[in-house]
Amino acid sequence: MPFTLTMLSRSKLIISGVKSVMLSNEAQLKFRLTSGIVTVSGEGLQIVEIGGGDAYVKGYIGGVAFE
């Protein structure tokens, strides 16, 4: 199953295809996806809403990395 990552701005991000949250703090969020792992780094990061495989993230997004 694929995943999608939609950046609405440098401070809003939606990730679809999320299986679980591996790490969550203000500087880094790590999600297990259906096809790997994605790490979001930045400042003041928070998961505003999560459910149904979607996660809505707010805060300054400095980078996104895939494993």
Q: What value does the mean pLDDT take over residues 43-54? A: 97
pLDDT at 1: 63
pLDDT at 2: 85
The pTM of the full predicted model, rounded to 2 decimals, is: 0.93
pLDDT at 16: 95
- Tell me the CATH number for domain 4-66: 2.60.40.2000
- pLDDT value at 15 more than 90: yes
DSSP summary character for residue 47: E
Q: What value does the mean pLDDT take over residues 42-66? A: 97
Q: Kindly indicate the confidence band of residue 46, based on its pLDDT and cuts at 50, 70 and 90.
A: very high
> Nearest 5 degrees, angle CA 26-CA 60-CA 18?
70
